[in-house]
Structure 1
């Protein structure tokens, strides 16, 4: 009987010790990698509302971005610090001032635009894809507003924008998106994070 009592006391002590360790000595969670991105696209593409949805913010009073704004978009394995640039015609020539230091690009386009506006969008995307400071970076291209009846599908966008020949050899993802389908929208960003991590693992060139 005495031995059983001693064993019970020992087991209780072990249980209390383990609980104490779990509560008081738990290791802090490992820090998430942060990446600096830029988000570009013409006015009306939906950049602001898209980022607000990703950050679980209200989109009721969303208006055009006239300069730039920064949002920290959290994911389980990374935090994306996204600098959204205004897409007005008078702002676009200054986009390149914000390119230094970015590690990836999010390009948002309105897939229900007119042919004329899509032509302007294509020119801006091609310019970004081949810019010296962006050409080696991963791109996430979002064909936004897929819920509109006149929206072009991602495959139609790919052909219209001639992405296969123009972006050959570059890291890019083309995904359809809507503001309402947050799950699908996040999937595109998860793929972008995978490309960013892949680029991190590349050996650095020696100077």
Structure 2
């Protein structure tokens, strides 16, 4: 199973990838390009691709869409200033034919922070309730 981890820079994508793989939080640096790891969970193997989220890298996300079974879209719950940009990137991604059948999980990261938006606020800000023909989870 192939999973992409996408989201804006600083959202926590790489931290999530390595938390899944090694079971603990590791120190990371900004991803220029991608990280790919095999994650095993209950005898299932997942190939997980963590793609950089900087503005200059986002146009290349589509190069990785082919044969993707699921997308984990990571959003920084505290980044109210860029929630609109995050929504635009999410909407553009969901319009891609190659991702039409992919499962969407929106990961509301940094919920432990005092200024974090609630998952419900985030779902509304990202326009998730308006999605048609797409199952999603936040």
Same topology, TM > 0.5: yes
Could you tell me whether the CA contact under 8 Å between 1:128 and 1:135 is conserved in 2? no
Match of 1:56 in 2: 22
Match of 1:137 among 102, 105, 109: 102
Trace 1:1-207 onto structure 2 (pairs within 5 A): 35-56=1-22, 59-115=25-81, 117-165=82-130, 167-174=131-138
**Secondary structure at the residue paired with 1:90?**
coil
Which protein has the bigger strand share?
2
For 2:26 and 2:41, the matched residues in 1 are separated by 24
Aligned-residue RMSD, C-alpha: 1.4
TM-score, normalized by length of structure 1?
Answer: 0.63
Structure that is richer in helix per residue: 1
Q: Take 1:57 and 1:48, find their aligned partners in 2: how far apart are those partners?
A: 13
Contact 1:109–1:142 (Cα < 8 Å) also in 2: yes
Note closer, same or farther for the CA distance 1:139–1:77 as it changes in structure 2 (3 Å cut).
farther
Contact 2:3 2:47 in 1 (8 A): yes
Of 39-48 and 70-79, deviating more is 70-79
Higher radius of gyration, 1 or 2:
1
- TM-score of the aligned structures, taking structure 2 as reference length: 0.93
User: Structure 1: any 5+ residue segments left out of the alignment?
Assistant: 1-34, 175-207
1 or 2 for the larger relative contact order (CA 8 Å, sep ≥6)?
A: 2
